[in-house]
Amino acid sequence: MQTLRALPVIAVLAGCDQTSEPTVTTLPLFGEGYRFDGDICRRVGEDAFTNPFLDDAAVLVACPTGAANTGGLITTAGAREVARRDGYTLYSIPTR
């Protein structure tokens, strides 16, 4: 009977993303997720650190370093890693 009680807990944990957002950052993150609300990657705004990476023909996005879903950004969206800070990897993603 103990095994049956553990199954729902295992099922819930299996669906969790093992990479969580860093809790403290000075990056000017905004939005509820990049591409879709709830995504772990987020758009990045302008400040002294991010200015060199901003481009009118690209979106600047930050994903927790080591996040599993970033491979899709690189292969399908053409994302290019431009920096790392506060546990995030910043990507420039072309819009045209």
pLDDT greater than 60 at residue 78? yes
Stronger pLDDT, 90 or 2, i.e. the higher one: 90
pLDDT greater than 60 at residue 3? no
Give the torsion through C-alpha atoms of 74, 78, 83, 86, to 10 deg: -50
**pTM, two decimal places:** 0.75
Distance CA 33, CA 74 (A): 17
Token pair listed for 9? 């807990």
> 24, 15, 17, 92: which is closest to 58 by C-alpha?
92
Q: 11-63 pLDDT, tens per residue?
A: 333 343 445 667 688 999 999 999 889 999 999 999 999 999 999 999 999 99
Contact 68, 17 (CB under 8 A): yes
What sign does the dihedral 33-67-64-14 (CA atoms) show?
Answer: positive
